[in-house]
Amino acid sequence: MRFNNCVVIGQARVIEGRKAKPHVCTLALNLEAKEEKDLLIRFCPVFKRRSLFPKRWSYVSFIGTRKNKIHPTDKRYSSWGIDDEHPIEIFPEKASQSERNQIHKLLLGSFLPEEKLNKERRSIGIMIPVKSMKFKWFDDEGCKRHHKNMDLYHPDKKLMLLGKKNELDGRLKNFKKTCVAWDVIEAYRKNNQITLPHNNPYCLIGNVLNYQRSWVVVAILSAPDGYIDRYALKKEHQLSFT
């Protein structure tokens, strides 16, 4: 399937494994989607160098295939492999501010609780935090092993995001999720510090391949004022490009 008009909205840090080449789990908005379930897609390009990679708000085009060489066990609806014979095309322009506002509207309008995301076999979702969130580092043997043995940079601890989230039905639930957002990890690698957006933050989450009913934070975005209440927390969700 050809995706002609997508915009990158979030990326996990570069990941490598014993069998998988270094790659970047990339979340994008499919602007040609006719139904809400086709709006969010996930694909994992092989990493070569940063200059060859799209950044957030970049427009891209690629041919998706259900044969996923990087993650052959990922069978969720929103996940796509990449046709090796047709590399990703990255367009020079990025989304304008008005286009980004429209993208926030579409993203927030797709908000569903995790139980519904799992039931519908989605691989991407939105998480709406309530009040403040915080980062916290936790000791983790797997992270220590990767930090020591892998060629690419891996933190030697696990970064978690903690807070309360909205469940759409008026309930609030505590959350504690691993954060793998590329820009967050890079900020820590370069400056030894990380910060959260101050204005109207919300999270893009992706399911974990080995534990597919679990979710991690792939990106943290900042919505325009009023958008979360207007589009994510309304009672009825409708896909609209107007």
Q: Distance (Å, rounded) from C-alpha 134 to C-alpha 221?
A: 15
Beta-sheet pairing, 40-43 with 79-82: parallel
- Residues with pLDDT less than 70, the chain: 16-20, 23, 47, 49-52, 68-74, 146-152, 210, 212, 234-242
pLDDT at 9: 95
What's the pTM? Answer: 0.85
pLDDT at 80: 84
| pLDDT tens digits along 52-62 | 678 899 999 99
Reference 59, options 84, 92, 26; nearest CA is 92
